[in-house]
Structure 1
Amino acid sequence: MIVLWILLFMLGANRDNTVVDFVHDAASWLASWSRDMFDVSPDWWHVLLNYGIAAVVYAAIGNLAAGALRRRW
């Protein structure tokens, strides 16, 4: 969801659209801990940096969990 929101934002998706609003809400909830970590401008850099950090952290955690499960089974 986070990467999808970054893509939608970068492509200028209509935020009044229900699907775009849902994706934004889900990404905001998932990235609530990193959403305002850095206050930079322009807006696209702010979204890319702050939501991107959350996406990278979740990807790393998922990769570590998958590796642990592979070794266990």
Structure 2
Amino acid sequence: MARRYGGNPAAALILIAADIAALILVLWILFFVFDANRANDLVDWVHHAANWLATWSRDLFTPDNAKWRTVLNYGLPAVVYLAVAQAFAGRVNR
């Protein structure tokens, strides 16, 4: 882990922010797929945060299965945030 965040502190902050965003999105996917109690405050907070993070992709895919729709529409931004952060952090480190 030290190697991933090593180097320029600005690059480390970019990677950490992307990791946190991806974690929130993946948590929402897991909560949705495994039918977590939506009345729970943590589940509600993660849902709202994931909705904000995935605003641009929430209705990009529209399969009939709600679980697949959630995996696709919230998983894509998680992957994009990680990939863009990795590229951007690499440029900052140079």
Name the TM-score, length of structure 1 as normaliser. Answer: 0.89
Task: Quote the Cα distance in structure 1 between the aligned partners of 2:27 and 2:89.
Answer: 22
Runs of 4+ in structure 1 deviating by more than 6 angstroms, as ranges, are: none
1:41-64 CA-partner distances (Å, limit 9, x unpaired)? 211000001111111111111111
Residue ranges of structure 2 left out of the alignment (5+ in a row): 1-23
> In the comparison of the two structures, how many residue pairs are matched?
71
Counterparts of residues 1-73 of structure 1 (less than 5 Å): 1-71=24-94
CA RMSD of aligned residues (A): 1.0
**Largest Rg, 1 or 2:** 2
CA distance in 2, matches of 1:59, 1:40: 24
CA distance in 1, matches of 2:92, 2:76: 24
TM-score normalised by L of structure 2: 0.71
Q: Which runs of 5+ in 1 are unaligned?
A: none
